[in-house]
Chain A
């Protein structure tokens, strides 16, 4: 499992390399991007499903789709191997629902496979034609119609079978590999017997396990981890990012099934999440801000008062906070009750250095972590808020606005797009804080550049958020006006600019800010902005307005100038911003 993950990661790196450095890959990248723009176009044509977007490398499966596929696979195996549906189902389950593998193993060594799965050739077992049989579980004798057996022929009464299968079903998914009760037998008990002998409720549970097995045992499919969502995602390995978005609009990383976390890699995310949840931070705090009672070792925080400490009952030990020695040793001899020269002199000899330094370091690292965590969490809650606002917009405001401004709702999709962009940006921004936390301290140039990019991203997003929230509100009150068209242009423009900026940001961070390495600290800013401009140039090719240089610095260069207000890259001749009409500074 591990090695496989490694392999994925390795693929990942390779594909990114190709993605960003080879010219050919750019073209395919552009196709992908067109798909996104098509989706946006469709959306403005009035399609309801603004949130979901289908990309080539994954398929979303609803419960019916899953059942259908399962049925299809069983039918295939049935007809190719000429076995019962029951047996086909067990075979497929054994080989993780991989039809090719079933074929391969079956035709390589049918006997071996039959043995492993518990499919007996029952042609030479002849059940008695009449009389009674003895049940191996309840030890009673029954007429033949009350007796059943798996392919092996071991007889048990129907009541005992029902109890046996039901116990197994209620024990969990292990019921899918149920065998004959005789321990040495191994004959499989399949779906046919389950259907024949158990209650409706148990049958339902069994079918549920079978369905789950289809998704969980296969390497190509995973459940959407969103609570209450019944969809699964089928993912095509190789190429592209792991981010997938389910019909329920939840975005997650297919590789690690955490929420979508580009630009941060899966390993960092798991480290970060572990760190957030781990007791380690509590321990760090205790270490930094408390000392253990010298007698009972309970941690004590000193928040005020003198150095004379008295531990809580039942310990009640009295000691000096500074030297942790017994208080009764203190007095005139140690420099008075309010000073402890034993501590001072011992400190000079270096006796406390080790524990003091540890305490100091813990404090620093705690503060550093708190800094990043707070911002990570704030963006998380901003994102939740934005999602709620988006919902509100869809359900309430849009209709209102449509009435006020005399615009059909389909013409107002640009507002939803802006909000979707805000939600996405909050997500990215959130993860940049995990990125920042793990960016090594000593990489000064990278840190500087990273913080610059992050700051710009934050500013850009604030502008968009401001426009989509505050400015929009005025139009909810006013009656129809020309201003509204200007507003549309501005908000749509900001959305595009912000999207491009964040895409470039994600790319740059996923590259490990490699431009800084390549060009050295001094020239890093300009070189990356060129790169960013180049990337977005190739992406914005579908006439959505000129979008290059969203991540650029403010300095004018040969190709144009970036607007102070909205960061839009204008042509060098323009005197005011084509996007937001701010005059050139």
Chain B
């Protein structure tokens, strides 16, 4: 693969992700493509996702770090800012991306998004509606989904 001329920045980021991982987050590059990462995020405590292990994939495009990494949930999750394909609505992955951000900061932001869903800026209209009309019930569903889909990993 094109791993031979991988930018120093990516190598350094990868080394640091492996040597000093952020709490509740693991990210390891795929063996045949160093730009593709398998990610796992633990559901934050005191969130409906507590106890769940969520798998994500993260890809660094050719333009990285001038362009944001592409991240997607692989585990099914009930969250107003994440749609059923696992796509994530997060500003730093879109227009607020800056090359001074890193894989680590992106994953920490996603973890924070799990702790603080934002139904006012929804990606999944139905879930957001549910969240706003009956938060307690929506949180129950999120817990249920966490049990169903995110416990065995």
Q: Which residues of A contact B (CB under 8 A)?
A: 136-140, 154, 160, 163-164, 167, 181-183
Q: Is B84 an interface position by the 8 A CB rule?
A: no
How far, in whole Å, are A182 and B92 apart by their CA atoms in the complex? 12
Q: Is B63 an interface position by the 8 A CB rule?
A: yes
- Which residues of the partner chain B approach A137 to less than 8 Å between Cβ atoms? 9, 65, 99-100
Count of residues in B whose CB is under 8 Å from the partner chain:
15
Please list the 5 inter-chain residue pairs (A to B) with the smallest Cβ-Cβ separation, ordered nearest first. A181-B100, A167-B66, A137-B99, A181-B98, A139-B9
Q: Is B7 an interface position by the 8 A CB rule?
A: yes
How far, in whole Å, are A136 and B105 apart by their CA atoms in the complex? 14
Contact of B100 among A136, A140, A163 (CB under 8 A): A136
- Which residues of the partner chain B approach A136 to less than 8 Å between Cβ atoms? 100
A182 pairs with B8, CB closer than 8 A? no
A183 pairs with B99, CB closer than 8 A? no
Q: Mark B97-133, 1 if CB is under 8 A from A, else 0.
A: 0111100000000000000000000000000000000
- Which residues of the partner chain A approach B12 to less than 8 Å between Cβ atoms? 139
Excluding A138-B9, A139-B9, A181-B98, 7 further A-B contacts by CB distance (< 8 Å) are A137-B99, A138-B7, A139-B12, A154-B100, A183-B92, A183-B98, A183-B101
A139 pairs with B8, CB closer than 8 A? yes
Q: How many whole Å from A504's CB to the nearest CB in chain B? A: 54
Q: Is B42 an interface position by the 8 A CB rule?
A: no
Kindly report which residue of chain B lies nearest to residue A164, judged by CB atoms.
B99
- Which residues of the partner chain B approach A183 to less than 8 Å between Cβ atoms? 92, 96, 98, 100-101
A167 pairs with B63, CB closer than 8 A? yes
Kindly report which residue of chain A lies nearest to residue B105, judged by CB atoms.
A183
Q: Is B17 an interface position by the 8 A CB rule?
A: no
Q: Is B22 an interface position by the 8 A CB rule?
A: no
- Which residues of the partner chain B approach A139 to less than 8 Å between Cβ atoms? 8-9, 12-13
Given contacts A137-B9, A138-B7, A138-B8, contact A164 B66 (CB under 8 A): yes
A160 pairs with B99, CB closer than 8 A? yes
Q: Mark B63-92, 1 if CB is under 8 A from A, else 0.
A: 101110000000000000000000000001
How far, in whole Å, are A160 and B67 apart by their CA atoms in the complex? 12
- Which residues of the partner chain A approach B99 to less than 8 Å between Cβ atoms? 137, 160, 163-164, 181
Q: Which residues of B contact A (CB under 8 A)?
A: 7-9, 12-13, 63, 65-67, 92, 96, 98-101
Contact of A163 among B66, B96, B98 (CB under 8 A): B66
- Which residues of the partner chain A approach B7 to less than 8 Å between Cβ atoms? 138
How far, in whole Å, are A183 and B92 apart by their CA atoms in the complex? 10
Q: How many whole Å from B65's CB to the nearest CB in chain A? A: 6
Kindly report which residue of chain A lies nearest to residue B65, judged by CB atoms.
A137
- Which residues of the partner chain B approach A163 to less than 8 Å between Cβ atoms? 66, 99
Kindly report which residue of chain B lies nearest to residue A182, judged by CB atoms.
B100
Contact of B8 among A140, A164, A167, A181 (CB under 8 A): A140
- Which residues of the partner chain B approach A182 to less than 8 Å between Cβ atoms? 98, 100
How far, in whole Å, are A221 and B13 apart by their CA atoms in the complex? 49
Kindly report which residue of chain B lies nearest to residue A160, judged by CB atoms.
B99
Contact of B67 among A138, A140, A167, A181 (CB under 8 A): A167
- Which residues of the partner chain B approach A164 to less than 8 Å between Cβ atoms? 66, 99
- Which residues of the partner chain A approach B66 to less than 8 Å between Cβ atoms? 163-164, 167
Q: How many whole Å from A126's CB to the nearest CB in chain B? A: 22
- Which residues of the partner chain A approach B92 to less than 8 Å between Cβ atoms? 183
Kindly report which residue of chain A lies nearest to residue B99, judged by CB atoms.
A137
Q: How many whole Å from A545's CB to the nearest CB in chain B? A: 64
Kindly report which residue of chain B lies nearest to residue A138, judged by CB atoms.
B9
- 7 CB-based A-B contacts, threshold 8 Å: A139-B8, A140-B8, A140-B9, A154-B100, A181-B99, A181-B100, A183-B96
How far, in whole Å, are A192 and B69 apart by their CA atoms in the complex? 30
How far, in whole Å, are A154 and B9 apart by their CA atoms in the complex? 18
How far, in whole Å, are A139 and B64 apart by their CA atoms in the complex? 13
Q: How many whole Å from A89's CB to the nearest CB in chain B? A: 23
Kindly report which residue of chain B lies nearest to residue A154, judged by CB atoms.
B100
Q: How many whole Å from A191's CB to the nearest CB in chain B? A: 20
Kindly report which residue of chain A lies nearest to residue B7, judged by CB atoms.
A138
How far, in whole Å, are A183 and B63 apart by their CA atoms in the complex? 19
Q: How many whole Å from A108's CB to the nearest CB in chain B? A: 30
How far, in whole Å, are A167 and B100 apart by their CA atoms in the complex? 14
Q: How many whole Å from A550's CB to the nearest CB in chain B? A: 59
How far, in whole Å, are A138 and B11 apart by their CA atoms in the complex? 10
Kindly report which residue of chain B lies nearest to residue A140, judged by CB atoms.
B8
- Which residues of the partner chain A approach B96 to less than 8 Å between Cβ atoms? 183
Q: How many whole Å from B99's CB to the nearest CB in chain A? A: 5
- Which residues of the partner chain A approach B100 to less than 8 Å between Cβ atoms? 136-137, 154, 181-183
Q: How many whole Å from A286's CB to the nearest CB in chain B? A: 30
Q: How many whole Å from B11's CB to the nearest CB in chain A? A: 9
Q: How many whole Å from B151's CB to the nearest CB in chain A? A: 35
How far, in whole Å, are A154 and B99 apart by their CA atoms in the complex? 13
Q: How many whole Å from A158's CB to the nearest CB in chain B? A: 14
- Which residues of the partner chain A approach B9 to less than 8 Å between Cβ atoms? 137-140
How far, in whole Å, are A163 and B66 apart by their CA atoms in the complex? 7
